Chains A and B, each alone.
Chain A
Amino acid sequence: MTKAVERSAAVGPSETPYGSGAGLPMRGYKADEMMAVEASRRLTSKNVCFVGIGLPSLAANLARRTHAPGCVLVYESGTIGAKPTRLPLSIGDGELAETADSVVSVPEMFAYWLQSGRIDVGFLGAAQIDRHGNLNSTVIGRYDAPKVRLPGGGGAPEIATSVDNVFVMLRQTSRAFVERLDFKTSRGERVRVVVTDLGVLEPREGELTLVRVHPGVSVDDARAATAWELAVAPDLEETEPPTEAELAALRTLEAAA
């Protein structure tokens, strides 16, 4: 089983549409699928979730199709309670508006709905993260002379300070899990969990600590993919592999994208 777990190429989230694609092994699953499944398990039917495009959208929609049908999805384009039947490519796809409970303007979305504290979970991705959960989605290198100019913060700076629970999804590599960010786009104070393709990190005693490894992944793998000295929880667990039902729902979503 574990041999079928393929490591994805290390690319920043801004470069990545949906993660895993074609060429699935007959049995088993891809690392990105484990990541999406594990992130989806963090959502419940009581959550109102601010969703970004890509892996977060995949995870949130998967949660709605499995154990959390009541989870409310909010996309920054202004769609509240969107119920897409296929994964949107952009946060403003027409189906999000057609299936939403309410469609509001962008100023209203950020003022009345996000900053007011009505949304309790926000998913964020980034190119870099530090041990405190601070994120960089702005630039690699110096701001004024960048090596790589990334798309930028978008909604992230205020999502990170307005929702109570920030969930981060990010592929784990030593280029992404850095000692020092090149740029701080959003603060990490409210980051409750970081789900990677290798495992799960949670803040313990002020720094992100490895609390789970996915099946077939060792602590050394996670350490090698982290540029800071990664703390490991004494009660480290192994993630439950995706169930048949989770995988089936995930692949149906991806196939319809």
Chain B
Amino acid sequence: MAEIVTLADGVRELVHDGDTVALEGFTHLIPHAAGHELIRQGRRELTLVRMTPDVVYDQLIGMGAARKLVFSWGGNPGVGSLHRLRDAVEHGWPAPLELEEHSHAGMAAAYAAGAANLPFGVLRGYEDNDLVQHTQVARITCPFTGEVLAAVRAHRPDVGIIHAQRADRGGNVQLWGITGVQKETVLASRRSLVTVEEIVDELDDRPGAVVLPSWVVDAVAAVPGGARPSYAHGYYDRDNDFYVGWDEVSRDRETFTDWMQRHVLGSVAA
């Protein structure tokens, strides 16, 4: 059963230096507050997994929390590059970053396989491109048709972290809108932490909602606004101006570090 915890306690208990950690959320419901708590608690040597590393991973990488990145698209959506990710890959600042690079379809299949407790996922993919040399992919032959397909090793993170709209007092989690790969992330991970906008007495029906029963989640923390500058459908909108502004903040090492000092390290967890 999920325990209701504070964000600081949840991160302290569940995430350790050297862990493989997946913070997921496809544009929507990105667990920014949890990422900031990882930075505040000074986690190091993490293998960070995420389909679309964007601002929160730029911050984790720029603050030296990551050793390796497993991903399929690393940019600031609609804006451009992630400058801290680029600096780490191009110049090794603040530390060299190992890359394991996939396509979206490959990442999705790897999460789904992890959720199913299978050793690998299957897809029709990675055909005739150079990605094959930079990822964990192999060819397998279908035993029924003879078709040659791609196999990707299942993602089995030590910790999966997501943000959701709500949980009830028993720790059942509910999210809706664009739900991305979050269900698979929680089910594929050995341990899981969910931050939520609010904890309510009862989860009423929402169209298209995903419900994660309490017994597949380790910890739930109420963190209102915990996805900002991403958004929480039904609660607040995406702060597009922040994403546009991040380009300037993150371009320069000193400006970035100063910003992190003032806005992340200088503030405390909810």
Contact = CB atoms under 8 A, between A and B. Distances in A.
Interface of A: 14-17, 53-54, 76-79, 88-94, 96-97, 103, 105-107, 109-111, 114-115, 138, 143, 146-158, 161-162, 183-187, 189
Contacts of A105: 179-181, 183-184, 210
A110 B130 contact: no
Interface stretch (B85-93, B211-219, B252-260): B85-93
Interface stretch (B69-77, B163-171, B189-197): B69-77
A58 to B, nearest CB: 11
Contacts of B109: 107, 110-111
Contacts of A162: 124
B26 A106 contact: yes
Interface residues of B, number: 56
Given A92-B178, A162-B124, A107 B108 contact: yes
Interface string B214-253: 0000000000000000010100011010011000000000
Contact of B177 (A53, A103, A109, A154): A103
B266 interface: no
Contacts of B244: 89
A107 B78 contact: no
B105 A155 contact: yes
10 contacts: A14-B80, A53-B78, A92-B27, A93-B27, A97-B233, A110-B104, A115-B123, A152-B75, A152-B101, A161-B127
Interface string B62-84: 00000000011111011111100
Given A90-B78, A184-B129, 14 more contacts: A17-B79, A78-B179, A93-B27, A94-B233, A96-B178, A106-B108, A114-B105, A147-B90, A149-B86, A150-B81, A152-B71, A152-B101, A157-B125, A185-B129
A153 B72 contact: yes
B111 A107 contact: yes
A89 B240 contact: yes
A142 B184 CA distance: 34
Nearest to B51: A106
